[in-house]
Amino acid sequence: MQRIRLRYTKRGRLRFTSHRDFQRAFERALRRAEVPMAYSAGFTPHPKVSYANAAPTGTGSEAEFLEIALAEARDPEKLRALLDESLPAGLDIIDAVEARTSGLADRLTASVWELRLDGVGSEEAGRAVAAFLAAESVEVSRRGKNGLRTFDARPAVAALETVPEPTRPQADRPGDGPCAILRLVVRHVTPAVRPDDVLSGLRAVADLAPPVPAAVTRLAQGLFDEESGTVTDPLAPDREAVRPAPSEAAGTAAAKVPEGAGSA
C-alpha cells in the first residue's frame, strides 16, 4: 500500500467551502481520476483519506494537507495533476509527495495567517498590534457546542505584525479605502486559537473594529522553529527521505569511475 501526501488550497469564493463539502468534492475527484484507492475493512468500506487540521470555513488557505492510501503505486506528480484537473478552480492540488516518514499531523504545530483589514489604516493597526503584544494575557470568548468559553489567546501568538499592502490592486477588495494587512504566526494549542480569536483580542485591548469582516488566509502551516520563529514545510522530510545519503551518493559516483582512470 502506497501513501501519498497532498497539499491543496482554498482560494477565492471557495474559501466558504466547509470541510465536509471539500471531502465530498475530493472523493468525487478520486473517482473521476480513477485513483486506485485502498479501502477500510468492515461493513461500510470507505477510501482511506486522512485530513489534517483543516482551516475554518470562510478562511482561505494556501496550505491544507491530507494523506491518501493507494492499492497500487502511482507517480505522485502525475496523480497530483489528475486530481487537480478533477477539482473545481480554487480547490487546487499544488504539491504531492510519497509518504516516507511518519507523523504528518505531529509536524503541523503552527500556522502563518494573513489578515486583511479593509477600512483600517496601517497606523491604527500598528498601535493595536503593539497593545496586543504588550499584554500579559488577552481574554477572549468563543461560543461552541457547550456554550460560551473564555480563554487566554495571548500565549498561542508567536508573532503578530503589520506588513506593507501589495502594490497591485486586488479584485475582491470592497473599496479603495485604507487596508491594513497583518501577519500572524499562531501555535496549535488547546483550546485552538483562531485568527478570529486574535481579532477579538485586538478589539478587547485596543478597540480595533474593522468596518467589514476581515479577509483571512492561511499562508503556511508546519513545524514551528522556536529559535528562528519560522514555520517549516511539513512535506520536506518526505522529500529528503527520497534523496540518497551522502555516503551512498559518493559510493555510486565512485562505482561509475572506469577502471584505470587517472593512471598515467
Task: Return the domain boundaries, the chain.
Answer: 2-105, 108-232
Residue 205 above 70 pLDDT?
yes
Topology classification of domain 2-105: Alpha-Beta Plaits (3.30.70)
Separation CA 107–CA 246 (nearest Å) = 25
Give the pLDDT band (50/70/90) at residue 28: very high
Q: What's the average model confidence in pLDDT over 242-258?
A: 52
What's the pLDDT tens digit per position in 126-137?
999 999 999 999
Q: What is the pLDDT of residues 149-171, one digit of tens each?
A: 999 999 999 999 999 876 555 55
Higher pLDDT, 170 or 47: 47
What stretches of 9-54 show up as alpha helix (H) in DSSP? 19-32
Distance CA 15, CA 213 (A): 14
CA-nearest of 189, 164, 217, 229 to 58 is: 217
Phi, psi of 41 (to 5 degrees): -90, 175
Residue 252: per-residue pLDDT: 46
